[in-house]
Chain A
Amino acid sequence: MGSRASTLLREEEIEEIKKETGFSHSQITRLYSRFTSLDKGENGTLSREDFQRIPELAINPLGDRIINAFFPEGEDQVNFRGFMRTLAHFRPIEDNEKNKDPIASEPLNSRSNKLLFAFRLYDLDRDDKISRDELLQVLRMMVGVNISDEQLGSIADRTIQEADQNGDNSISFNEFIKVGNFLIFCIFGNMNYYLT
């Protein structure tokens, strides 16, 4: 079963993915067998239902938003390249990459790309601003029915007040970076366990 999977993934593809995402050869083959085990329809792509079949993801309050991040605009299927490109955001930053050539294009797992990923979880309409409504939507997903609209509204207002600097009552990416930065390494850095 598994040996069939690794023969379907050609060496050239593995090299391309390696270059694009920075994952190692063994990490790519391991994630490929994970991809195929999720792909129940066996057509080489994953649909939203395939992700929702993972119970631990289905009970995650932000599950739908995370799943959404894998699918490009307006599409319902994601292939292995797209899958790896999204997962690449969570690859920990290695020491030998920090001193890389600054002219080369930014790796997918750079600090700002990680923050951009998180920003897009809030910013559903992709207008590069997190409006009060968008913030409320995410808050509502995380708390369920346990907090009243008014309380939630005041939490949202306070958050925007603290982060907003140019007074447009919404949070831009630069303002977001200032609030979200310091936790990135504590949290995203621990992905290592699953990727060795």
Chain B
Amino acid sequence: CSELLPLAIWLSELYWSIVDWATHRIERGAKDNNHLLYKPYSNGDNRDLDHASEFEMSDIFYFCRQGVESIMDDEVTKRFSAEELESWNLLTRSNYNFQHISLRLTVLWGLGVVIRYGFLLPLRVTLAFTGVGLLVVLTSIIGFLPNGRMKNFLSEQVHLMCYRICVRALTAIITYHDSENKPKNGGICVANHTSPIDVIILASDGCYAMVGQIHGGLMGVIQKSMVKACPHIWFERSEVKDRHLVAKRLSDHVEDKTKLPILIFPEGTCINNTSVMMFKKGSFEIGSTVYPVAIKYDPRFGDAFWNSSQFGMVNYLLRMMSSWAIVCSVWYLPPMTREEGEDAVQFANRVKAAIARQGGLVDLLWDGGLKRGKVKDTFKEEQQKLYSKMLVGTQEDRSRS
């Protein structure tokens, strides 16, 4: 496979020069039509309420403007749909703001469709089936061996091999940075979550114990056979709600130094890889070493974000396999532990900030659960408290004078 590397590099250079050309064409076309393509980045508002003052009728303007601004654009809802690109990557699915520009571009795109669906997709699907099939069969066979070093060694080799076949099936071009920080036994690996592919990307470079809910169907078969070869942590649907049970099983696993490091995605849901949202504190309460990992996908080659309300899993995988490639970077960050006087939430935020900084992502305090649920009232109450403080402060001054 190493002979293919220079070819792959050359192909991606060629591809990117085509995209560059396409972008210039689009920009030139847009300038002629006075279209504006890029949203300017706005740098915060002026805090009109910072100084204490008396109530005025016009105070509502401040809240009014904030409200209308958030209607026009907000920081949160756009994280739950695919990122808008500045230049088109020749995939229609990423074509949001660009209309038909020229015949040449359309021809290129058509050629791309033929290559992707006619040649790449069947090849990749075959590889995928091979990889998954081998994983199920081989781990079941290994399950018959007695527990011991031989079994662990074989299990690691099998897992790595099958995941690497799956990586080929997605044509994922992954760059691993700082591999000296790779997670060790007895630790917990946390990463930002963009799609189910994250698991394949990390597991093809190291061995982890997975955590998750037991599914039915094909997923369930895979999970059951994997756990025969080495201990993963699968929960029944009913057990997931019981936080103490979850915490206990995780800490039991972590204490056993012969077991592999646990892989967890603390956001709890897929985010579109432009930001990192709130980390759930559960995994940070356990008290073992945390190995943060940042995963950043290059959106020029294909959008890896899984919008589960838009596509099911199979549809999503087909889209992934018919993209050009999945290019991503993985950074293994130095291990972190909870410091004196730091609670789980602060620790989680510290880890999250490190991951966001490394991956070039926006660090948000908002909860990824907002994808489906409502925001808590406590945030509104915070704002009301601030405003009241401003008003009441004035009253106290007046009564004193």
Contacts and interface: CB of A to CB of B under 8 A. Distances in A.
Interface in B62-112: 62-78, 81-82, 84, 92-93, 95-99
27 contacts: A1-B93, A2-B96, A26-B34, A26-B35, A29-B97, A31-B72, A33-B97, A37-B81, A53-B77, A54-B77, A55-B379, A59-B379, A63-B380, A66-B63, A66-B71, A87-B71, A138-B60, A144-B381, A144-B385, A147-B388, A151-B395, A176-B57, A179-B56, A179-B57, A184-B61, A191-B68, A191-B72
Interface residues on A, range: 35 or more
A159 B57 contact: yes
B55 interface: yes
A25 B97 CA distance: 13
B138 interface: no
Contacts of A9: none
B93 to A, nearest CB: 7
Chain A CB within 10 Å — which of B48, B67, B391 has the most? B67
A171 interface: yes
A155 B81 CA distance: 45
Contact of A66 (B45, B68, B77, B93): B68
A118 B67 CA distance: 13
Interface in A1-60: 1-3, 6, 25-26, 29-31, 33-34, 37-38, 51-60
B388 A56 contact: no
A105 interface: no
A87 to B, nearest CB: 7
Given A3-B95, A53-B77, A54-B76, A62 B391 contact: no
A146 interface: yes
Contact of B63 (A60, A87, A188): A60
Contacts of B395: 151
B14 interface: no
Nearest to A119: B57
Contacts of A139: 55
B59 interface: yes
B392 A146 contact: yes
Contacts of A57: 67, 70-71, 74
B265 interface: no
Interface string B375-400: 10001111111011101100100000
Contacts, number: 167
Nearest to A155: B55
B40 to A, nearest CB: 6
Contacts of A63: 67, 380
A61 B387 contact: yes
Nearest to B383: A61
Nearest to A187: B61
A51 B72 CA distance: 11
B370 interface: yes
A38 B48 CA distance: 29
B384 A58 contact: no
A3 B66 contact: no
Interface string B6-40: 00000000000000000000000000001110011
A166 interface: no
Contacts of B69: 191, 194
Chain A CB within 10 Å — which of B45, B382, B383 has the most? B383
A25 B95 CA distance: 19
B84 to A, nearest CB: 8
A145 to B, nearest CB: 8
Contacts of B54: 155
A26 B57 contact: no
A177 to B, nearest CB: 10
A188 B77 contact: no
B2 interface: no
A156 B174 CA distance: 63
Contacts of A146: 384-385, 388-389, 392
Nearest to B382: A59
A142 B64 CA distance: 11
A91 to B, nearest CB: 11
A184 B96 CA distance: 35
A121 B57 CA distance: 11
A69 B24 CA distance: 42
Interface string A134-171: 00001100111111000100010001000100000001
Contacts of A144: 380-381, 384-385, 388
A145 B65 CA distance: 23
Interface in B345-401: 366, 370, 374-375, 379-385, 387-389, 391-392, 395
A190 interface: yes
Nearest to B374: A58
B46 interface: yes
A184 to B, nearest CB: 7
Contact of A118 (B60, B385, B389): B60
A159 B96 contact: no
A63 to B, nearest CB: 6
